[in-house]
Amino acid sequence: MAAGSARFVHARAAGAWFSASPRVQRAAAAHILVILAVALTAIAMHQRPGVNAEPLALAAASGPVPARVAVDADRPTARSARASVSRAKTKSRSKPAPAAPTGWAHWSGRIRGCESHGRPDAQPDYKAKNPDSSASGAYQITDSTWGGRYGVAHASDATPEQQDAAAAELYRGHGTADWAASAACWRR
């Protein structure tokens, strides 16, 4: 036990000298500054506007790729290992899954059907009126949100083209947030 204590005291003394050295402290500080500068630069580059802002696909989205290993008498040969790696690479190059549909062109028809009839595949009813609120039209836009656009008080009094244009404007400003109450219908 005494030998263990002596080694600890010796190591502690060496560590104290190491951390007390101004040269070591300057080197450690410079090292930390370099690491922080690189990290901040990477963050700034990642958040720079104008860079391709497509979402990254998750590796798990395409599912696991099984690796096949040929075994010859309990030991794989170098040739069989290379062949299995080659097969695994070939399988991983399969076509990516199609991207989930997004954008107003996709959501507008589904939202119209859900808001005016309760089904995403329903034909829109541009004259629909909500009995419990001031919402009307194919997109069920409330009178306060409609705000007298096109010289009419209610969305249901506007033409289908005017309702589509107003809904597209709302989408550009807020995304699908204005139709969050019916999201369970139009997102399925």
Per-residue model confidence as pLDDT tens digits over 98-155: 666 678 888 888 899 888 888 888 888 999 999 999 999 999 999 999 999 999 999 9
> Is residue 56 helix, strand or coil?
coil
Tell me how many domains the chain contains.
2
Helices (H), the chain: 2-20, 22-46, 78-92, 104-117, 143-146, 160-174, 183-186
Q: Residue 79: inside a domain, yes or no?
A: no
- The CATH number linked to 168 is 1.10.530.10
> Is residue 16 helix, strand or coil?
helix
Q: Residue 150: inside a domain, yes or no?
A: yes
Going 175 to 178 to 184 to 185, the CA torsion angle's sign is negative
Q: Residue 174: inside a domain, yes or no?
A: yes
> Would you say residue 67 has pLDDT above 60?
no
Q: Cβ distance 115 to 139 under 8 Å?
A: yes
Q: Residue 124: inside a domain, yes or no?
A: yes
Q: Residue 141: inside a domain, yes or no?
A: yes
pTM (global) more than 0.85: no
> Would you say residue 15 has pLDDT above 70?
no
What average pLDDT does the chain have?
A: 75
Q: Residue 125: inside a domain, yes or no?
A: yes
Window from 22-31, 48-57, 160-169, 172-181 with minimum mean pLDDT: 48-57
Task: Please report the pLDDT score of residue 9 as a whole number.
Answer: 63
Q: Residue 73: inside a domain, yes or no?
A: no
Between vectors from CA 98 to CA 95 and to CA 102, what angle results, nearest 5°?
A: 160
Going by C-alpha positions, the residue among 110, 111, 112, 116 that lies closest to residue 129 is: 116
Residues 155 and 126: their CA atoms lie apart, in Å, by 8
Per-residue model confidence as pLDDT tens digits over 133-142: 999 999 999 9
> Would you say residue 80 has pLDDT above 80?
no
Task: Please report the pLDDT score of residue 63 as a whole number.
Answer: 42
Range(s) of the domain holding residue 38: 13-45
Q: Residue 58: inside a domain, yes or no?
A: no
Task: Please report the pLDDT score of residue 149 as a whole number.
Answer: 92
Residue 109 sits in the same domain as residue 177: yes
